[in-house]
Amino acid sequence: MKTQEMQIIFDKIKEYDRIIIFRHFRPDGDAIGSTKGLQRILKLTYPEKEIYIQNCDSSDYLAFLGGEDEPIADELYADALAIVIDTGDTKRVSNQKFSLCREVAVIDHHIQTSPYGDYRWVIEEKSSSCEMIAEFYDAFRDELKIDTEAATYIYTGMVTDSGRFRFRSVSGETLRLAGVMLDLGVDTDRLYAELYLEEYDYLKFKAYVYENMKMTENGVAYIYVDRAMQERFSLTQEKASAVVSCLDSIRGSIIWLAFIDNDDGTTRVRLRSRFVTVNELAERYHGGGHDCAAGATVYSPDEMAALLSEADALIKEYKENNEGWL
């Protein structure tokens, strides 16, 4: 459905000759898919416009989606429209130069702790920012051009951010829009191979994780990937962080966490849950996020223990007051 917010952003896209697209740091499939998907659509539709993606970090895991643009001169920002996608607050934007742009449009599905930007199309209930880019395309399909490449970027983000269309944020509309993308010729055999195939050594690491994971009294499953473990298995930060998904299918463990040591001595926490929500817990530990997928940072072993005990108390309370959880 075409909304006023979408129309305003579309009008801004038409107005500007130069558009620079941004995403959050530590990109996931949705951040990369949505930005590259929108860039491709805009390049196809407006070959005369300059459309850049400018970020300061990258992702090995998503290298199959191809790279982003080389840095452009700072002067080029001043008369450009910034479109920041999939990023809930300004601190998380990968390239802070987005603020040099004349105007900033935001397209996002994260819970907004501190809203920013001149024009905002934000729907927290959407399963992914890629779903929103698909919806944007669909709403203006009489004017916008798309191809298999753009559809593949967008479909990849829809698939990855929704847990393969599994999370509760997935609606009939999500699937309809995924269908629109699929029909543009997405090669799903190749895509799922890219997403699922793992190196032999990484499987060895996973075996280690299952040997060493722990469980609190009421069912918080967790693993601590300290520096030693990262070195022993030659893990990048990204690979180490992916470990949280190893713990996602334990019956009765409705919250699961991974603690991953950062290079700077702090510890990143990735929180996941089903039924019960964890974003408020994450907010109490310098973080935030979605109901059932959030991130935080702890600065000491004491803080780590405190977070774990709060997570345990959350499960206890939930299990005492609710039925039907699995």
Q: What's the per-residue H, E or C state across 108-148?
A: ECCCCCCCCCCEEEECCCCCCHHHHHHHHHHHCCCCCCCCH
Smallest separation (angstroms) from ligand AMP to the CB of 250: 18
- Binds ligand AMP (CB under 6 A): choice among 288, 298, 308, 311: 288
**Residue 153 Cα distances to 39, 119, 129, 131, 326, angstroms:** 10, 24, 12, 11, 33
Asked if residue 110 binds ligand AMP (CB under 6 A), the reply is yes
Kindly tell me which residue out of 29, 292, 295, 304 binds ligand AMP, with binding defined by CB under 6 A: 295
Distance CA(95)–CA(296), nearest Å, equals 21
Q: Is residue 27 a contact point for ligand AMP (CB under 6 A)? A: no
81 or 304, CB closer to ligand AMP?
304
Q: Which of 29, 33, 37, 88 binds ligand AMP (CB under 6 A)?
A: 88
**Token pair recorded at residue 256:** 């699961």
Output the smallest distance, CB 30 to ligand AMP, in A: 8
Footprint (CB under 6 A) of ligand AMP, residues 191-210: none
Q: Least CB distance from residue 251 to ligand AMP, whole Å? A: 22
Q: Which ranges in 55-199 belong to alpha helices (H)?
A: 129-139, 148-161, 172-182, 188-196
Does position 294 interact with ligand AMP (CB under 6 A)? The reply is: yes
Report how many helices (DSSP H) and strands (DSSP E) the chain contains, helices first.
Answer: 11, 11
**Paired tokens of 31:** 């951040």
Question: Quick check: 270 binds ligand AMP (CB under 6 A)?
Answer: yes
Look at the block and give the residue holding tokens 């393969």: 164
CB of 175 to ligand AMP, least distance (A): 21
The footprint of ligand AMP (CB under 6 A) covers 88, 110, 270, 287-290, 293-295
